Amino acid sequence: MAAKIKTTPSIDIDDAIRSIRMLQPDETRRRSELMVEVKSVLAVLPRERVLSEAFDQVLEDLGERRNTAGASASPTIREGNAVVVLGESGAGKSTSIRRLIASHPLTIGELNAPGSKLFSISAPSPCNLAELGREILIALGYPLARGKLSAPDVWRMVRERIRSLGILLLHLDEMQHVIQTVTKLELQKVRNNIKGMLVDPVHPIALIVSGMPNVVDLMKPDRQVARRCSWIEFEALTLASHRKMLAAFIRQLCERADLAISDNEIIRIVPRMLHAGCYQLGVTAEEIHEAIRTSLKAGEKDLRLNHFATAYAKRTRNPGSQNPYISDHWRDIDPTQVLGSVEMPRPAPKANSSRKGRNK
């Protein structure tokens, strides 16, 4: 049975955002333009080079044929390999991978634009085999109406779509959603389809698979899949190893925002900021972004510790005692807590009126 195609016209997100901007006061628009500049600056760690080399390698591997019939035979088989990127939430995995894909010559215009040969897809939550296939089809410009297509039918269409568009690499992000949803049997079916894309006899592709550390349970158990993978871990930041990098990063962002910052202020900010950012690069960068926004909104000319404290309080609604930029005991604070963690007193239980009546 042929799949039904959605015909509802999509709304251009850029047009929608321009409509919002037109309604904003001039000062808000100027601040937003500055924040765009600030967010365009990315911190670069050695792991970025490792990722870039692995990315280039899987594309290089894809272009090589393997001779399976001896020296006299023509090479007949081309196979794909994968890069697996693991790290905690907020480590910066998605940003780094998408930046690589978006900057590659085989990406036409913006990420996932029609005509590109490299695409990035986020696994939905919850996610089973069929839903993952549907998400790939939608990203590749083949949106499906909700129907009763089986998972094998969906994945047959995925392979056909990859071939027809000449796709060379897919990035499958947030793949922990698969681990969290499916049974062991279903998980093996996901592995089989991932392997199938790598060794497709007609049109193999390269893959980048990323997600939380438990994604290793998706890729590693199957030896045929695991041996085709390069493994990269986005580890947590440490103050000892990354203090200088974070100080330089703050200065770069302040320069883009036309804000001053003193060396003494950076010394005060960095340890608390790293803790508030859960020692993950992506979250830490967001801490800086919101502190800069707070300073700009206040009409300040510099960036200080109190801007970080104000932004953190606004985001989490935690009291000062649970704000790592304010508390003297900031190392003991759980930065993932929101809305405070002080237990409110419970109301006294209401008297049982029927029992009162019987006691009279």
Model confidence pLDDT, tens digit, residues 225-277: 889 999 999 999 999 999 999 999 999 999 999 999 999 999 999 999 999 99
**pLDDT of amino acid 253:** 98
**Following DSSP, what letter does each residue of 247-267 receive, concatenated?**
HHHHHHHHHHTT-B--HHHHH
pLDDT at 172 over 90: yes
Backbone angles phi, psi at 331, to 5 degrees: -65, -25
Q: How far apart are CA 245 and CA 217, in angstroms?
A: 33
Cα separation of the two ends of the chain: 75
**pLDDT of amino acid 65:** 66
DSSP 8-state secondary structure symbol assigned to residue 230:
E
**pLDDT of amino acid 345:** 45
Band (pLDDT 50/70/90 cuts) for residue 69 is low
Band (pLDDT 50/70/90 cuts) for residue 8 is very low
Model confidence pLDDT, tens digit, residues 88-144: 999 999 999 999 999 999 998 888 998 999 999 999 999 999 999 999 999 999 877
**pLDDT of amino acid 223:** 86
pLDDT at 147 over 90: no
**pLDDT of amino acid 149:** 86
Closest C-alpha to 121, from 139, 108, 143, 96: 139
**pLDDT of amino acid 148:** 78
**pLDDT of amino acid 344:** 43
**Domain 35-64+78-234 falls in which CATH fold?**
Rossmann fold (3.40.50)
Residue 195: helix, strand or coil by DSSP?
helix
Domain spans, the chain: 35-64+78-234, 239-332
**pLDDT of amino acid 77:** 65
Contacts of 38 (CB under 8 A, 6+ apart): 253, 256, 257, 289, 292
Model confidence pLDDT, tens digit, residues 16-53: 777 777 777 889 999 999 999 999 999 989 999 999 99
**pLDDT of amino acid 1:** 43
CB atoms under 10 Å from CB of 160, counted, come to 14
Is the pTM higher than 0.75? yes
Closest C-alpha to 150, from 186, 114, 121, 109: 186
Q: How far apart are CA 139 and CA 113, in angstroms?
A: 9
Q: Does domain 239-332 have CATH number 1.10.8?
A: yes
**pLDDT of amino acid 5:** 43
Average pLDDT, the chain: 88
